[in-house]
Amino acid sequence: MLLNSFDEWSPLKEVVVGNPAPYTRHDIDLSFILVFCEMTHHRNPAIHKVKKRYVDELREDVDGLVETLEDLGIRVHRPTDLKRETKFKTPYWQSTGGPALNVRDRALILGDEIIETAPLIRARYFENDLLKPIFYNYFKAGARWTNMPMPMMTDHSFDLSYVNDVDQDMHGTEASLQQTPSPFDVGYEMMIDAAQCLRFGEDVVVNVAVENHELGLQWMERHLGDRFRLHRMYRLTDNHIDSFFMPLKPGKLLVRSPKVRDALPAPLQKWDLISPPEPTEHLFPTYEDDDLVLTSRYIDLNVLSIDEERVIVNSLNPELIRTLEKEGFTPIPVRHRHRRIFGGGFHCLTLDTVREGTKQKYFD
């Protein structure tokens, strides 16, 4: 089928679902800390081991998601299996690459085009190679396929201003993140995740928190020209926005708090907001002190719409399910236990490649 996806809610026909194995570790280097700054920026750079039982349970839950999607008549694609995590080295740094789990992060689908974005985390530099067989099939069927320039990712490529501002606000001091000079330094480089974008037909909302994101947005503006309108949101959060708000259908936004309205682009401030009860810790597994939790309690807002009525939602969050039902939606419960350990909900785990919708104007 031809690549076609313009928004987050039109009837879903084809989707990529990430692979969880082999997921054993996080390399907590500068790039990782900057993405998960509110959770990790006081940790010393190190290797964090992820417990096998979490990965095994994640695999069970992802299999359940795949089964649910297929039962709904949706064609599911999977990234190439990675037999083991792979160490790699560039001229500037070294890291360990893992599986393509949160496949939303590094690929933006705009209509008939795949845009591979420039990574934020070094360990994910080659992750999209595991999606290339899928992308090639869409390319052969007529899709456009574009790659944002890949950054060198030296230490001085990263803008530390957001994490320093967060630390200043929370603790009254700047974070002491070391940046080692390199002969390859070129200043700040474009780095931005596709999960910093949400699609509304011909309009795309993009969260920008640092200069790296700004450069990525400028690249998209020049590349897309007048085909799409990009709307800059400044520092709604550090990077990804799909657990802050999610469009469920034209005129309806799922939000973590009504306060989000003030940060939205003007056209979205007119949409109806659906705000579920504040999530509490009892909705999540109890973790040990040495476990690394990567997301906030709002991660279950990271839902996947099947169409304008049906929404895949975490079965472990009954408050969210009841809220959606009251608003006239049909929740499809699927279990996802360790979303906070693995840094993503159902929207992160998936990349919708074919939806029935066309490029409509929803902001006028």
Contact 240, 196 (CB under 8 A): yes
Amino acid (1-letter code) at residue 128: N
Contact 155, 30 (CB under 8 A): yes
pLDDT in tens, 174-231: 667 889 999 999 999 999 999 999 999 999 999 999 999 999 999 999 999 999 999 9
Q: What is the pTM of this model?
A: 0.96
DSSP H helices, 95-238, are 132-140, 161-171, 211-224
The mean of the pLDDT values for the chain is 95
pLDDT in tens, 299-321: 999 999 999 999 999 999 999 99
Residue 344 has pLDDT above 70, yes or no: yes
Residue 7 is classified by DSSP as B
Q: Which domains does the chain have, with CATH numbers?
A: 12-355 (3.75.10.10)
For the chain, the maximum distance between any two Cα atoms, rounded to a whole number of angstroms, is: 58
CB atoms within 10 A of CB 112: 16
d(CA 334, CA 345): 11
pLDDT in tens, 137-182: 999 999 999 999 999 999 999 999 999 998 767 555 566 788 999 9
Residue 196 is classified by DSSP as G
Q: Is the dihedral of CA 176, 177, 182, 188 positive or negative?
A: negative
